[in-house]
């Protein structure tokens, strides 16, 4: 089943509002370890992964399961044994094919997630592969035949700062090699503005870009990532040097995960 990836600035998980949610403390208490035998089993029809701003604050990396028929299996999320690991159990037996997980594997990796299914224990494991320390809560909800689980990182990344906004890359995504940074800017005398790809303490690259005029204008620039020995958490930063003293103004920092190799 082809994966559907939604990485849209301002994407809101609206259907989560008012539904089941909890922070890490409540999630760690877990739910039932076995599915109820009183409810009919369900088979997964399709699986999607997505990322975007959450209505409750923060940035969500989500998994949506769409079951065949008109019902859904209610998910319960508990902390797993490893850092960044979350175990999802259901209120009834479910069937999930490994091929369905494999079909979204690349897209999940792009969104800093790894998915695993243990049919024996009836546990779906979602592992955050980076920025796990930023996950402050998990949201779980059902809607018709859909069940959704979202890992929410806080605080919400600030993607607009007075005169500069960044629309790509999206926060909490995996970057490799040359990355296109784009958005809008209103710069003094059309710039230039500075764009940094930086992994703190590991490496930084810098480039500059001008806009077409001093009005609010779109910009787009290919940026080389720093050469790294291993994958690192880092930032795509954009700012305008002050005309007065060169200090950064309108700075925007987008948290990302940089693969080695530049």
Structural tokens at position 87: 């175990």
The pLDDT-based confidence of 261 (bands split at 50, 70, 90) is low
pLDDT at 55: 87
Q: How many CB atoms lie within 10 A of CB 81?
A: 7
The pLDDT-based confidence of 25 (bands split at 50, 70, 90) is very low
Query: SS3 breakdown of the chain: % helix, strand, coil, rounded to 5?
Result: 10, 50, 40
Among 8, 95, 100, 105, which residue's Cα sits nearest to residue 59? 8
pLDDT at 137: 97
In order of their start, the domains of the chain are 5-153 (no CATH), 160-258 (2.60.40.10)
pLDDT at 192: 96
Average pLDDT score over residue span 172-200: 96
pLDDT at 35: 56
């Amino acid at each position: 089943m082809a994966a559907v990836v939604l990485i849209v600035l301002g994407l809101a998980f609206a259907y989560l509002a008012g539904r089941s949610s909890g922070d890490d403390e409540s999630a760690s208490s877990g739910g039932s370890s076995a599915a109820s035998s009183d409810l009919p089993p369900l088979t997964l029809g399709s699986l999607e992964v997505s990322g975007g701003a959450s209505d409750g604050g923060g940035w969500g990396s989500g998994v949506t399961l769409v079951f065949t028929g008109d019902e859904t299996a209610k998910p319960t999320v508990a902390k797993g044994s490893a850092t960044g690991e979350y175990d999802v159990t259901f209120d009834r037996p479910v069937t999930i094919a490994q091929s369905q997980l494999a079909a979204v594997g690349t897209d999940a990796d792009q969104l800093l997630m790894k998915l695993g299914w243990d049919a024996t224990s009836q546990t779906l494991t979602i592992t955050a592969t980076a920025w796990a320390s930023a996950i402050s809560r998990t949201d779980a909800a059902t809607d018709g035949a859909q069940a959704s689980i979202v890992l929410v990182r806080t605080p919400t990344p600030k993607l607009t700062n007075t005169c500069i906004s960044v629309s790509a890359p999206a926060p909490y995504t995996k970057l490799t090699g040359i990355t296109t940074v784009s958005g809008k800017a209103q710069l003094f005398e059309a710039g230039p503005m500075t764009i940094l790809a930086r992994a703190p303490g590991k490496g930084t690259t810098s480039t500059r870009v001008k806009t077409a005029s001093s009005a609010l204008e779109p910009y787009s620039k290919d940026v080389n990532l720093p050469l790294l020995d291993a994958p690192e958490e880092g930032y795509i930063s954009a700012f305008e040097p002050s005309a007065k003293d060169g200090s950064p103004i309108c700075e925007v920092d987008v948290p990302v995960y940089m693969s080695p190799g530049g």
